[in-house]
Chains A and B, each alone.
Chain A
């Protein structure tokens, strides 16, 4: 297991409620959820920087491009 460092994170009430809700839904700790989010962000950024695009597809196979800033 890689060494870990500790940091303090300041969140608004709304952000904290979202974090609570998502970590409960995903059945992982808040720390694990934030680590997942960071990894997902890196994956998306890496692929976008390669010129790839990010799409969501609905049940009728309609695609919507997700703009990431």
Chain B
């Protein structure tokens, strides 16, 4: 699947056409290691030297290449966003698995699509770029990936229900930009905050999402 999507080039403020795709390969994982990781580590060092430890991305150690064996498992779907021949964001979702159950009381135990990993290229990561005194290059990459997860949830008859564990640094994004419901901390998953969409919230997000 390859779908044209609109993102904003923040240098010009103009929309540009990027590509959302689900034919993710190990080459894309290697690209994140080669293109993203050095920049994330460099920024993390700069922020640490400055004493801004709370702004250091908590995913700076992620290594997508270890997920290569999961590429051919149908329980998972991977999505990428490409623009100007560069990977701008990457996401892994699960259609089935231990976290694919709703926790919100009004939809408890129903099936949902679990957003396992989301990462945007460091040059698009607002908290990181702002901390470094710059603007993210393209936006809203994270929202576009969440939009893809909601659409996949609808395709799988989960009616837009998605759930995820958020790192502390992205809690504000999921709470306020995506307007997901924060259900509570999960002691089984490093005490990360669990957030969830009902079908109605998912529909509102799809209606409201704009570049």
Report A's interface with B, CB cutoff 8 A: 1-2, 25-29, 31-33, 35-40, 42-43, 46, 50
Tell me, in angstroms, the Cα distance from A1 to B1 when the chains sit together.
7
Known contacts A28-B156, A28-B158; is-contact A42 B75 (Cβ 8 Å) = yes
Pairs A–B under 8 Å by Cβ, sample size 22: A1-B155, A2-B1, A25-B109, A26-B109, A27-B107, A27-B110, A28-B110, A28-B111, A28-B156, A28-B158, A31-B157, A35-B156, A36-B111, A37-B96, A38-B74, A39-B73, A39-B74, A39-B96, A43-B74, A43-B96, A43-B97, A46-B69
Summed over the interface, the residue pairs from A and B with CB atoms below 8 Å come to a total of 51
Closest Cβ of chain B to A43, distance in Å, is 4
Known contacts A27-B110, A28-B111, A36-B95; is-contact A43 B157 (Cβ 8 Å) = no
> Which residues from chain A contact B110 at a C-beta distance below 8 Å?
25-28
Q: Is B159 an interface residue (CB 8 A)?
A: yes
Q: Is the interface of A mostly helix, strand, loop or mixed?
A: helix
Known contacts A25-B109, A27-B110; is-contact A39 B157 (Cβ 8 Å) = no
Tell me, in angstroms, the Cα distance from A32 to B112 when the chains sit together.
12
Closest Cβ of chain B to A67, distance in Å, is 18
> Which residues from chain B contact A25 at a C-beta distance below 8 Å?
109-110
CB <8 Å contact, B111 and A42? no
Complex partner residue of B74 from A28, A29, A42, A50, CB under 8 angstroms = A42
Tell me, in angstroms, the Cα distance from A32 to B147 when the chains sit together.
20
Known contacts A40-B75, A43-B73; is-contact A27 B111 (Cβ 8 Å) = yes
In the complex, which residue of chain A has the Cβ closest to the Cβ of B72? Answer: A46
Complex partner residue of B96 from A31, A36, A46, CB under 8 angstroms = A36
CB <8 Å contact, B95 and A39? yes
Tell me, in angstroms, the Cα distance from A26 to B108 when the chains sit together.
9
Tell me, in angstroms, the Cα distance from A39 to B75 when the chains sit together.
5
Tell me, in angstroms, the Cα distance from A29 to B111 when the chains sit together.
11
In the complex, which residue of chain A has the Cβ closest to the Cβ of B102? Answer: A27
Closest Cβ of chain B to A5, distance in Å, is 15
CB <8 Å contact, B74 and A32? no
CB <8 Å contact, A43 and B75? yes
> Which residues from chain A contact B111 at a C-beta distance below 8 Å?
26-28, 32-33, 36
> Which residues from chain B contact A46 at a C-beta distance below 8 Å?
69, 73
Closest Cβ of chain B to A58, distance in Å, is 13
Residue of B95, B109, B155 contacting most chain A CB atoms (<10 Å): B95
